[in-house]
Amino acid sequence: MNIERGNTVGIKQAFNDMLDDYKIDSKYKATIIKKLWLSIMGKTIASRTGKITLHNKKLKVKIESAPLKNELNLSKSKVLEILEKELGKGVIEDIVFT
């Protein structure tokens, strides 16, 4: 993070710079996704969801029900669309249900 005397940046920019400098941007975004998962996907899917990780714009979601995993794989593009709407474009490029 480049901070110089007399050079002001907004809080949002300073926060994003800090996330980049400490290389914790993807962990931060994964935490946001975990917090939103229940409201985005609903109680039924959220209750059968395990670990959620984000690495190189690829979201990995552990689903504990094989039929549900199959159903989510079939509607992957819709799930990506919903997540993009909530998080913004470019945060997630692919989603893998394991």
Can you give the residue ranges of every domain in the chain? 11-97
Cα–Cα distance for residue pair 72/81, rounded to 1 Å: 13
Tell me the pLDDT band of 1, cut-offs 50, 70 and 90: low
Nearest to 30 by CA among 50, 73, 60: 60
Please compute the mean of the pLDDT values over residues 11-37 and round it to a whole number: 87
- Biggest CA–CA distance in the chain, Å, is 58
Q: Give the residue with greater pLDDT, 19 vs 92.
A: 92
What percent of the chain has pLDDT above 70? 94
Tell me the pLDDT band of 2, cut-offs 50, 70 and 90: low
Task: Give the fold, CATH level 3, of 11-97.
Answer: Alpha-Beta Plaits (3.30.70)
- pLDDT at position 7 is 73
Query: With 70 as the cut, is the pLDDT of residue 18 above it?
Result: yes
